[in-house]
């Protein structure tokens, strides 16, 4: 099991850095296949996202990908939302959580397919709005064990005028806030498998570095195509798992 977690951690790290996701969109379905239950998979995923998002935030800060003084307000809202979402996990049925997860992936896929990779309007800078968006996404993040960027990226591109690559980077920055908040909440509720989570977290760091390096070397049009393919794949894997039982 440890070897599988190490390989999964490295793979998730690469995808996380490249796509700007927390990693839950990949790790939760695969952890289900490995044999973990949905709630345990969420806890392991959140643990990995804490380490991965911190590493990614440091790298993007060095590269000056975005202005922290503004985008941090997404994170402030996300912290509160993730706490609420983490509590909901304890209350909801596992099947409900899995279908929620599939619905989030479907929404993201649709928004990305319709969006333009290059901004068609001026970037919206509104800190109270950033906080509100972060709070709403944070609820889903805490509930589903995903960092929130799976929702954040299409919202920033479709409605807020963010360039696609910048939106992906901001989405992963947002994960730093929601994952720390969700981790603390789930740990308090006794829902974290620390041993498995730490194995995945530490092995994902190398992948994060490579994924971000690759992000800055791919053309934006190609990046959107790859991103769409990635979300279609995740949707198909999760749908099959739910339908096949």
Residues 77-88: b if buried by 16+ CB within 10 A, e if exposed: bbbbbbbebbbb
| pLDDT score for 225 | 87
Q: Which residues of the chain have pLDDT under 50?
A: none
How much is the pTM? 0.77
| pLDDT score for 115 | 74
Residues 109-145: b if buried by 16+ CB within 10 A, e if exposed: bebbeebebebeeeeeeeeeebbebbbbbbbbbbbbb
Q: Tokens standing for 41?
A: 């998979």
For residue 113, what are the domain limits?
A: 2-244
137-156, pLDDT tens digit by residue?
888 777 765 667 777 888 88
What's the chain's average pLDDT? Answer: 84
Count of structural domains, the chain:
1
């Amino acid at each position: 099991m440890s070897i599988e977690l190490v390989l999964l951690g490295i793979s998730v790290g690469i995808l996380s850095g490249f796509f700007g996701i927390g990693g839950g969109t990949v790790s939760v379905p695969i952890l289900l296949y490995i044999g973990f239950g949905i709630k345990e998979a969420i806890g392991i995923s959140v643990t990995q996202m804490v380490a991965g998002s911190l590493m990614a935030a440091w790298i993007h800060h060095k590269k000056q990908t975005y202005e922290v003084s503004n985008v941090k307000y997404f994170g402030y809202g996300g912290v509160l939302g993730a706490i609420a979402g983490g509590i909901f996990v304890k209350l909801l049925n596992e099947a409900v959580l899995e279908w929620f997860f599939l619905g989030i992936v479907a929404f993201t896929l649709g928004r990305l397919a319709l969006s333009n990779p290059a901004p068609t309007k001026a970037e919206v800078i509104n800190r109270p709005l950033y906080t509100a968006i972060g709070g709403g996404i944070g609820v889903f993040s805490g509930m589903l064990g995903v960092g929130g960027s799976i929702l954040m990226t299409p919202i920033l591109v479709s409605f807020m005028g963010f360039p696609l690559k910048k939106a992906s980077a901001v989405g992963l920055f947002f994960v730093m806030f929601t994952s720390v908040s969700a981790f603390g909440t789930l740990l308090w509720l006794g829902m974290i498998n620390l041993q498995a989570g730490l194995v995945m977290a530490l092995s994902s760091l190398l992948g994060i570095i490579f994924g971000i390096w690759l992000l800055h070397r791919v053309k934006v049009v190609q990046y959107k195509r790859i991103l769409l393919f990635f979300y279609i794949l995740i949707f198909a894997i999760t749908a099959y798992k739910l339908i096949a039982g």
